[in-house]
Chains A and B, each alone.
Chain A
Amino acid sequence: MTVTVDWYLILAAVLFVIGAAGLLIRRNAIIMFMSIELMLNAVNLTFVSVGRELQNLAGQFAVFFVLVVAAAEVVIGLAIIVSIFRARATASVDELSEMKG
């Protein structure tokens, strides 16, 4: 049994769905953050596997960009969450609905 590219794509799809479900279901901001990271990495996985399949380095380049952006996002996002937590002693996003119309 050889491991073909399909396996990687299926794994990526599974990881992406887990991340999306986590994002939609959980209320804790940090868990939601982790779900987003999961989705990003699922996409990274498809990039590298398809890149290898097509013998194209562009897939790996894209992953680097995603990693950099994700790192920046985590820095800012965590900073926001920490300061909200300090002010409210909660990280539940349902309580953060001041911007509703």
Chain B
Amino acid sequence: MSDFLIENIWLVIALPALGAVFLHFFGRRIGEPFAGWIASAMIGSSFVIGLIAAVPFFRGEAHPETVYLFDWIPALGARAELLWDPLSALMVLVVSGVGTLIHIYSVGYMHGDERFGRFFTYLNLFATSMLTLVLANNFAVLFLGWELVGLCSYLLISFWFTRPSAAAAGKKAFIVNRIGDFGFMIALMLVFTTFGTLSYSQVLENPGELLGAGTATAIGLLFLVGAAGKSAQIPLYVWLPDAMEGPTPVSALIHAATMVTAGVYVVARTSPIYALSDTASVAVATIGALTALLAATIAVAQRDIKRVLAYSTISQLGYMFIGVGSAAYVAGVFHLMTHAFFKALLFLGAGSVIHAMADEQNMNKMGGLFGKMKITGWTMGIATLAIAGIPPLAGFWSKDEILGTAFEKGGFYYVLWAIGLITAMITAFYMSRMFILTFLGKPRWDDGVHPHESPFTMTVPLMVLAALTVVGGLVNTPFRLGLEHFLEPAFEGVELAHAPEGALLWILAGVSVLAGVIGILMAAALYLGPEERREGLLARIRRPWFAMENAYWVDQMYGRMIVLPGKKLSNWAAFSFDNRLVDGIANGLGVLVQRVSTALRPLQTGLVRNYALVLAAGAVGLVVWFLSSGGL
């Protein structure tokens, strides 16, 4: 059974693709809710196939398999070839598993939307693209998936395109991603010129043979540019907060759980190249640490519940980058997995809240929802504790493994560890703040809002994700490194960094739990305590708070420094260069011909005698010339 499915692993990609094509043509006619159920069934089948095909890996007895489909671009060594190894298996399970839950949730969430069928077309198309990305055995196929997920992201962010802000956010996400893709493409070209092929099997087998340290660094840094675009890291993170304009399930699936982790996946996948270049690895970890801290501080002061989660996602992606940048690839991928669970849960919970509050996203107008929405409240509470790093929930294990590894590496990584620890505290603070503002305290609802628990299509995925959030971290604990053992075949030949052992492990874990608890207590003291205390503190730190609330005006700065000059340049190119110079040359030629012919027109008198005279004069002239030049 497993063998058959491994040989035909393309089914995992083909089923959602079939769903997308089918719903594209018939989605509107089928309508609510069956279009949604068809899409869910397709991605659900992908999950089941992936699960069965991964059985040999769970037993720990199988080797990575490549599945050859057909020659795609032979000149580039680009064969349509899929790789079934533990890493891609894990990614397939996360993508299709979380994807299935979010598809089901969307059936409830998108209830009543005019373009219900089209939404599921896009969701299935996204699943196809993301599964292509993670299953590729070839950088060209990877790039195909990479671009397709970008397209789906664009389509889904601007799903409600009649809202100008949604249309703008879609464009922004697409353009910022293009900047990252630029680096990614150059990296691919470098890979091709160095290795003469784009196939993983040849490139990643033993890259040290053909790859010098300089080229490895260049390729690593260029992949980092691409990864920073897709995974929303400094300096290309600005698109992700705006991407919250899309429907909330999209935020959960694409902009939290799966697509944005593609950058982390690429770094983990190309680990043999990063292993050759310390510079590139340190750059990845540093970018990750800075992003984690920056985004966390911004999240502290946001009012919009989805924006808090968006900045939180950026921050958590930063942790994953610290992990893969510290050569702790397993820890990075582990955090990718646990984050997919709890962040999808948080977003779906937020969607449930927004749904209940009649599309209100401002947390200042929520509060006291716990009594009204028991399931959403409980599940989001679990997710909040998980992201705050409270054991034994999923976030604790993965975050601690990353921080522990950074500490163990020492040197410059101490700094990254410290940043990670501070970020962990801030994370606990802002997540608790979000939870308290939303669910606890007195209701601050607008008039006419009657919160209610969401339908079962929405609450069931919440409960499943909550269960995964509780137990998901146990797959890789210091007591039993299950995930590491599982992923080992994928990182063969790459030296993996590990968290320390013994007493140090316990001390580090204690410190980070302490940081989390402090963060939670601070939030509780501020937001559950008397209002005067909060007002007093906020008044004292008004300026930094204002800066954080406005995300340090990075958007405005980019607007001033990059977008505005770009607009000026295109204005000049369109209205000065093209209109005046290019059009001027074309029009000038026309005017010149017209002038000359006007001048020559009187020659055509229309009198036959004149023509005959000129003819005769010409003949005489010719004769004279012949005679004077010495006869014929």
- Given known A-B contacts A24-B613, A24-B616, A93 and B608 have beta carbons under 8 A apart: yes
| A43 contacts the other chain (CB 8 A) | no
| A48 contacts the other chain (CB 8 A) | no
Partner of A93, one of B600, B603, B607, B616: B607
The proximity string for B residues 597-632 relative to A, scoring 1 for CB distances below 8 Å and 0 otherwise, is 000111111111100110010000000000000000
| A32 contacts the other chain (CB 8 A) | yes
Nearest B-chain residue to A25, judged by Cβ:
B609
Contact of B612 with A23 in the complex, beta carbons under 8 Å: yes
Nearest A-chain residue to B608, judged by Cβ:
A93
CA distance A93 to B607 in the complex (A): 7
Partner of A94, one of B601, B603, B607, B613: B607
Partner of A100, one of B605, B609, B612: B605
CA distance A97 to B607 in the complex (A): 6
| A20 contacts the other chain (CB 8 A) | yes
CA distance A23 to B616 in the complex (A): 10
| A99 contacts the other chain (CB 8 A) | yes
Classify chain B: how many residues form its interface, as a range. Answer: 10 to 19
CA distance A17 to B65 in the complex (A): 100
CA distance A14 to B600 in the complex (A): 36
What is the minimal beta-carbon distance from A29 to any residue of chain B, in angstroms? 8
CA distance A97 to B612 in the complex (A): 14
User: Which residues of chain A are within 8 angstroms of B612 by Cβ–Cβ distance?
Assistant: 23-24
Classify chain A: how many residues form its interface, as a range. Answer: 10 to 19
Within 8 A of A (CB), among B89-123: none
| A96 contacts the other chain (CB 8 A) | yes
Contact of A99 with B604 in the complex, beta carbons under 8 Å: yes
Within 8 A of B (CB), among A69-101: 93-94, 96-101
Contact of B603 with A101 in the complex, beta carbons under 8 Å: yes
Contact of A101 with B601 in the complex, beta carbons under 8 Å: yes
Q: Which of B601, B603, B612 has the most CB of A within 10 A?
A: B612
Nearest B-chain residue to A26, judged by Cβ:
B609
Contact of B616 with A96 in the complex, beta carbons under 8 Å: no
Contact of B604 with A32 in the complex, beta carbons under 8 Å: no
The proximity string for A residues 10-30 relative to B, scoring 1 for CB distances below 8 Å and 0 otherwise, is 000000000010011101000
Contact of A93 with B605 in the complex, beta carbons under 8 Å: no
User: Which residues of chain B are within 8 angstroms of A24 by Cβ–Cβ distance?
Assistant: 609, 612-613, 616
Contact of A32 with B608 in the complex, beta carbons under 8 Å: yes
Contact of A20 with B606 in the complex, beta carbons under 8 Å: no
User: Which residues of chain A are within 8 angstroms of B600 by Cβ–Cβ distance?
Assistant: 101
Contact of A93 with B604 in the complex, beta carbons under 8 Å: no
Mark A residues whose CB is within 8 Å of B: 20, 23-25, 27, 32, 93-94, 96-101
Q: List 25 A-B contacts (CB under 8 A).
A: A23-B612, A24-B609, A24-B613, A25-B609, A27-B609, A32-B608, A93-B607, A93-B608, A93-B609, A94-B609, A96-B608, A97-B605, A97-B607, A98-B606, A99-B604, A99-B606, A100-B604, A100-B605, A100-B607, A101-B601, A101-B602, A101-B603, A101-B604, A101-B605, A101-B606
Kindly list the 3 A-B residue pairs having the minimum CB-CB distance in the complex, ordered from nearest: A100-B606, A97-B606, A101-B604
